Amino acid sequence: MGKEKPVKNKKKVDMQWVTHSIVVLVADVLVVLFSYFAALWIRFDMHFRGIPNEYFQTYLKIIPLWCVITVAVFFLFKLYHSIWSYVSLDETFTMIKAYLVLILCYVLTKYLFKLDMPRSFYFFGIFIAFVLHVAVRFSYRLIRHIRNEYSKSNEYRAGDVENVMIIGGGSAGSVLLRELKVDTHQKQRPVCIIDDNPGKVGRELYGVPIVGGRDMIVEKAAEYNVGSIILAMPTASPKDIKNILNICKETGAKVRTLPGVYQIANGDVNVSRLKDVELTDLLGRDPIEIDNNEVFKMLKGKTILVTGGGGSIGSELCRQIAAHQPKQLIIFDIYENGAYEIQQELVRKYRDSLNLVTLIGSVRNTHRIESVMEKYRPNIVFHAAAHKHVPLMEDSPNEAIKNNVMGTYKTAVAAAAAGVETFVLISTDKAVNPTNLMGASKRICEMIIQMMNRRSEKTNFVAVRFGNVLGSNGSVVPLFRKQIEEGGPVTVTHKDIIRYFMTIPEAVSLVLQASQYAKGGEIFVLDMGEPVKIDDMARNLIKLSGYTPDVDIKIKYTGLRPGEKLYEEKLMDEEGMQTTDNKLIFIGKPIEMDDEWFKKKIEELDLDSQEDDENIKKYVQEIVPTYKPGSM
């Protein structure tokens, strides 16, 4: 039953197309009848009675055949297959080609049937018919345009339409502007364009004035009563975008952007592709760049296992790895929904070209992770499985130890036993001088990696440490978005709290490059630029959503959560800093420790966590002296 409706809809669409085609076909026949009669009429001084009878009889004899020939040629050139709402110059050029064939056919019929007609009959007839045939095809678009303009003018008078400013008068802005003017479903009226090219200022694009450069955004937004701004500059640098958005947020208008330059290449520049401004647009720095050729060589033909493959970082790792022709990609996750989603996404995209295995299981299960390593023998392991939410882990510290610490230890041991070439741990800047159990557990994971590297002859163990990831599950930006949509308040823990931020693709790029640089024991750190105040982030998002902070949307300060710091650090003092070929990636040197003592403490911690010991934080502090619970 569920399949009947789409079939009916398809039949309805097909019938609509057939009806339109028949209407145009009939119009084409009438055009041929009229055009060549008009040619005779013009030739003989526009007097019907002045047309000689033999010429009129020849016209009646040949015109049915020319109608058939015309329709057949038009079918051959698919002139009945166009979508009438979007007829353009392409159809005109196709019509010219069709008419070249028609002229040849008319010449052939003249000699085959030995027609004796005035030369002006052919000249005027072909000219009139061509003009009318083109007019028929553009008439629907013209009528639709007039109807749209009338409809929109009524909406303008009723005050139902929002005034829109477009920033960027290039290719993207041009396409977007045309769609906004044509689409009646968008209750938006483009009223002005901003472009930094002084040669464009004072001119018009589709009737919309280009009123100045970015320095005029605030003034013109007020002058034109702009309610929404669209940033149509997909090729602009991150620094330019940041500067423009910083100006836009003072207008009180909602700001949206095009997703990226690839939209131009794909021809996907349209209103439906617009997105709200993200904090990534305000970071104002170029994304991290990696040597794709080297990464490609490293991943191609390798068997690669990603633990936590259904999570934010894990799923992006899977996407980028799948694009580099691995021998086999293994997704391993305990959360079946996340694993299923990335599995289906990759299956749709790569189908049989990707050897994909999706496994459900826990890194805490020694037998399960050992059997997976033994069966698939991966060359590279990316260990992204972890509990990461700071407040939740404060309330369930034993679970953080079981999953983060023991899960890492068991996975690393299994990897070494299976002869894995490279093992990459996903870590966090919260592991540096931690004040929360989650950060402390990740610091122990880093220590495990460095211990395992010293003990393993075949496997290079490394860790990658980065800050907050924009857009990841549970990150602050989606929370702010939801709170703004609900009308507030937007909750910020502390007015002075700051964080380093990076995008998910940046984080994954760092992880991939780290695996290429890995020699064993390193902790790779990304230079994430200047830290961002969370309070400023919240206020900017409110402004760019078209609201005024503390007026339309309230900001509520809730206080630091248990284990939360005002700022995060990237390196401990004793780790030092080494550079790499990528100037944004640094290496913290391994810290010396007693591996036997550490291994013994891990075993004790494992037993303590199983019993839900309330002193678990105290035991963790013995292993991580820099862990200061509750410190700010």
Q: What is the pLDDT of residues 220-262, one digit of tens each?
A: 999 999 988 988 887 777 778 888 888 988 888 888 887 543 3
Cα 386 → chain centroid: 26
How far is it, in rounded angstroms, from Cα 309 to Cα 188?
42
Per-residue pLDDT, 374: 96
Per-residue pLDDT, 294: 76
Cβ atoms of residues 465 and 429 within 8 Å:
yes
Per-residue pLDDT, 262: 36
Q: For 362-382, what is the mean pLDDT?
A: 96
Per-residue pLDDT, 453: 93
Cβ atoms of residues 167 and 214 within 8 Å:
yes
Q: What crossing angle do the helices spanning 4-43 and 53-76 adopt, rounded to 10°? A: 150
Q: Please, what is the Cα angle at 595 between 389 and 370, to 5 degrees?
A: 60
3-state secondary structure labels for all residues of 583-629: CCEEEECCCCCCHHHHHHHHHHHHHHHHCCCCCHHHHHHHHCCCCCC
**Taking 70 as the threshold, does the pLDDT of residue 88 lie above it?**
no
Q: What is the pLDDT of residues 324-353, one digit of tens each?
A: 899 999 999 999 999 999 999 999 999 889
Per-residue pLDDT, 245: 85
Q: For 453-473, what is the mean pLDDT?
A: 81
Domains detected in the chain: 12-151 (no CATH), 161-277 (3.40.50.720), 292-469+502-529+570-623 (3.40.50.720)
**Taking 60 as the threshold, does the pLDDT of residue 151 lie above it?**
no
* Residue in 302, 430, 570, 617 annotated catalytic: 430
Choice among 93-97, 297-301, 357-361 with the minimum mean pLDDT? 93-97
263 pLDDT band, cuts 50/70/90, is very low
Return all residues near 384 (Cβ < 8 A) that are at least 6 apart. Answer: 306, 307, 308, 309, 311, 313, 314, 317, 426
Cβ atoms of residues 315 and 309 within 8 Å:
yes
Q: For 433-454, what is the mean pLDDT?
A: 92
User: Which of these, 227, 195, 229, 199, lies nearest to 213 by C-alpha position?
Assistant: 195
Cβ atoms of residues 70 and 28 within 8 Å:
yes
Q: What is the pLDDT of residues 61-72, one digit of tens each?
A: 888 989 999 989
Most confident of 18-22, 150-154, 357-361: 357-361
Choice among 84-88, 457-461, 550-554 with the minimum mean pLDDT? 84-88
How far is it, in rounded angstroms, from Cα 442 to Cα 619?
15
Distances from the Cα of 292 to the Cαs of 299, 300, 324, 381, in angstroms?
10, 12, 9, 19
Q: What is the pLDDT of residues 280-318, one digit of tens each?
A: 565 655 666 666 677 778 889 999 999 999 998 899 999
CB-side neighbour CA atoms (13 Å) of 560: 14
**Across the strands, what pairs with 468?**
501
Per-residue pLDDT, 500: 67
Q: What is the pLDDT of residues 373-419, one digit of tens each?
A: 999 999 999 999 999 888 899 889 999 999 999 999 999 999 999 99
**Taking 80 as the threshold, does the pLDDT of residue 132 lie above it?**
yes
Per-residue pLDDT, 47: 79
Per-residue pLDDT, 287: 61
Amino acid identity of residue 403, one-letter, is N
| Both structure tokens of 1 | 């039953």
Cβ atoms of residues 174 and 147 within 8 Å:
no
Per-residue pLDDT, 24: 82
- Cβ neighbours, 10 Å, residue 32: 23
Calculate the average pLDDT of the chain: 81
272 pLDDT band, cuts 50/70/90, is very low
Which alpha helices (H) appear in 427-571, and where do they start and end?
437-455, 476-485, 504-517, 534-544
For residues 88-121, one letter each, b for 16 or more C-beta atoms within 10 angstroms of the residue's C-beta and e for the rest, the string is eeebeebbeebbeebeeebeeeeeeeebebeeeb
Per-residue pLDDT, 362: 95
Per-residue pLDDT, 159: 53
User: Which of these, 557, 563, 562, 542, lies nearest to 493 by C-alpha position?
Assistant: 557
Cβ atoms of residues 230 and 176 within 8 Å:
yes
Percent of the chain with pLDDT over 70: 79
52 pLDDT band, cuts 50/70/90, is confident
Per-residue pLDDT, 575: 47
**Taking 90 as the threshold, does the pLDDT of residue 441 lie above it?**
yes
Cβ atoms of residues 592 and 574 within 8 Å:
no
Q: For 588-602, what is the mean pLDDT?
A: 84
Cβ atoms of residues 400 and 533 within 8 Å:
no
**Across the strands, what pairs with 230?**
166, 256
Percent of the chain with pLDDT over 90: 29
Choice among 101-115, 363-377, 446-460 with the minimum mean pLDDT? 101-115
Distances from the Cα of 109 to the Cαs of 82, 103, 105, in angstroms?
29, 10, 6
Distances from the Cα of 358 to the Cαs of 225, 309, 342, 355, 412, in angstroms?
53, 9, 9, 10, 20
What SS3 state is found at 453?
helix
Return all residues near 176 (Cβ < 8 A) that are at least 6 apart. Answer: 166, 230, 232, 258, 269, 270, 271
Using the 8-state DSSP alphabet, how is residue 565 labeled? -
Rg (CA), the chain: 34
Cβ atoms of residues 540 and 501 within 8 Å:
no
Per-residue pLDDT, 267: 40
Q: For 553-574, what is the mean pLDDT?
A: 69
Residue entry with tokens 């939410």: 389
Q: For 593-618, what is the mean pLDDT?
A: 86
Q: Where are the beta strands (DSSP E) in 176-240?
A: 188-194, 204-205, 208-212, 228-231
Q: Is 239 tagged catalytic? A: no
Q: What crossing angle do the helices spanning 407-417 and 437-455 adopt, rounded to 10°? A: 20
Q: What is the pLDDT of residues 486-529, one digit of tens each?
A: 888 999 888 888 776 777 877 787 788 777 887 888 888 876 66
Length of the chain: 632
How far is it, in rounded angstroms, from Cα 69 to Cα 73?
6
Per-residue pLDDT, 90: 67
